[in-house]
Structure 1
């Protein structure tokens, strides 16, 4: 419990926290990266307006999205007060432009009926990503979910059939239809759908610490909601469902509402995925 001291001037003395563990976390990262930190067990923290709780060991993860650049404060909070505990410098990255031709025009300029479906499916996906999952699945270094050629990268500005679209937030791995997709990190299945408008066959796995992975354009979905998945377990197969021009896996990751770069998980030190991108 938090203790407060009343002084004559009716001001509150500096807050006393439940434990004296200082919050530890790297002060530097890059856009699209993840950082892990340590605080008091059960501490409530806030970063980028997202509130979350350190686990029973005091461990937590934060993520920064594609366009987050500059200095941002990590706060420790209570019902009565907020305390700044770290300032994190997020370094800018450069992103490419990706020209994609041959996608179904219906997925570039959807009809009113399609837009209604897109909105409903978006709400379904958003709700799945908010499913609370405890555990330390996230602590193991990631493995590649599939063999193949990298055909698309995080952050690139997409142009579909000549029409500018949203940036790409995943790692695309091109391989023949039917190629096995394996869980890069263990977790719990929170969504398993065979035919979403944009992403086709789609699986979302929650890893704990507010992290979720999404696997898109699958030709087969081999798991069900609620399944506990081990790292390396087959969850589906590569396909070209949804908005796709050829068979590939699109692997994405979210920390709360921040979309982060899965390729960094494979190329840099986990879980501080921006570490090798910064000059110390």
Structure 2
């Protein structure tokens, strides 16, 4: 951790997180001392403080690995914070959520700007992952989409981007996540094929295959920010839930969806049923998690299957 002083911040910034100073206590006045009285003890010294309560440095817990996450608290007196170049949303107590992309480098950096102008920095060591990589000795065939497909796909992508960017104030990011459904894991996050040295897209979520029609539930509290009015070309019946602080879940290939846009959902509440809509080879739930454009491994949020 590095603390370095900067020039004083603008007056408005300095006032943003200011707590009134506590005046020092006046020293007690001596009074005439009876003959049998004991000696007076020195009065305690009160040191004025203008910094809001909080830790001296970042505190956090989570999974510091590629595709991982952390929840924590910023130093006391923080007026803004970020991980690398990405701003963090701080609640009234300075608590935050942050995450690490599947291809995150070996180090990330938390930075806080304090009300008095100081900068607090803390480096994070990011553990690498051994992804399931298949090397295929054939050329990659990336088909050219037809004009009709491109015309259909454009508004779908725009809806997904808008939903991922929604800020509903949901508080699910604070919770320990639960399995949306349990069953056979048919696809793992981060797996990828390399075609004669050319990488294909990696698998962006966790595939769970409990059987068609099985209900799945909200892994954490949130607000529904997207329900596909009709099956999307690739995702099929798509549902996206915002968990707050930039964290959101997407559920693909549903047979049916039981909630509507704008609805608040609680952890464990039924969201829909597992299906094979869209581009799917069989019935399964594809669950993906994203934070500010960073793709995360859902398994790192979950306890072992019971």
TM-score by length of 2: 0.73
Q: 1:75 aligned to 2:111? A: yes
Counterparts of 1:12-27 in structure 2, within 5 Å, are: 12-13=7-8, 18=17, 19=52, 21=54, 22=56, 23-25=58-60
CA distance in 2, matches of 1:81, 1:70: 29
The structure-2 alpha-carbon separation of the partners of 1:42 and 1:190, relative to structure 1 and needing over 3 Å to count, comes to farther
Counterparts of 1:79-228 in structure 2, within 5 Å, are: 83-97=119-133, 109-158=144-193, 165-193=200-228, 194-228=230-264
Q: 1:258 aligned to 2:294? A: yes
Given that 1:41 and 1:54 are in contact with CA atoms closer than 8 Å, whether structure 2 keeps it comes out as no
Name the structure 1 match of 2:33. Answer: none
Structure 1 alignment gaps of length 5 or more: 6-10, 100-104, 269-280
1:226 match: secondary structure: coil
| RMSD (Å) for aligned C-alpha atoms | 3.2
Given that 2:109 and 2:122 are in contact with CA atoms closer than 8 Å, whether structure 1 keeps it comes out as yes
CA distance in 2, matches of 1:137, 1:27: 15
Given that 1:42 and 1:53 are in contact with CA atoms closer than 8 Å, whether structure 2 keeps it comes out as no
Shift of 1:41: 8.2
1:91 match: secondary structure: coil
Name the structure 2 match of 1:233. Answer: 269
1:123 match: secondary structure: helix
2:299 match: secondary structure: helix
CA distance in 2, matches of 1:210, 1:257: 9
The structure-2 alpha-carbon separation of the partners of 1:83 and 1:180, relative to structure 1 and needing over 3 Å to count, comes to same
Given that 2:170 and 2:242 are in contact with CA atoms closer than 8 Å, whether structure 1 keeps it comes out as no
Counterparts of 1:4-83 in structure 2, within 5 Å, are: 12-13=7-8, 18=17, 19=52, 21=54, 22=56, 23-25=58-60, 29-39=64-74, 40=76, 43-77=79-113, 83=119
Structure 2 alignment gaps of length 5 or more: 18-51, 136-140
The structure-2 alpha-carbon separation of the partners of 1:82 and 1:13, relative to structure 1 and needing over 3 Å to count, comes to closer
2:156 match: secondary structure: helix
The structure-2 alpha-carbon separation of the partners of 1:192 and 1:41, relative to structure 1 and needing over 3 Å to count, comes to farther
The structure-2 alpha-carbon separation of the partners of 1:127 and 1:41, relative to structure 1 and needing over 3 Å to count, comes to farther
CA distance in 2, matches of 1:219, 1:42: 46
1:150 match: secondary structure: strand
CA distance in 1, matches of 2:194, 2:258: 32
TM-score by length of 1: 0.79
Name the structure 1 match of 2:28. Answer: none
Given that 2:7 and 2:117 are in contact with CA atoms closer than 8 Å, whether structure 1 keeps it comes out as no
Q: Which has the larger radius of gyration?
A: 2
Shift of 1:80: 11
1:118 match: secondary structure: helix
Q: How many equivalent pairs are there?
A: 252
Name the structure 1 match of 2:38. Answer: none
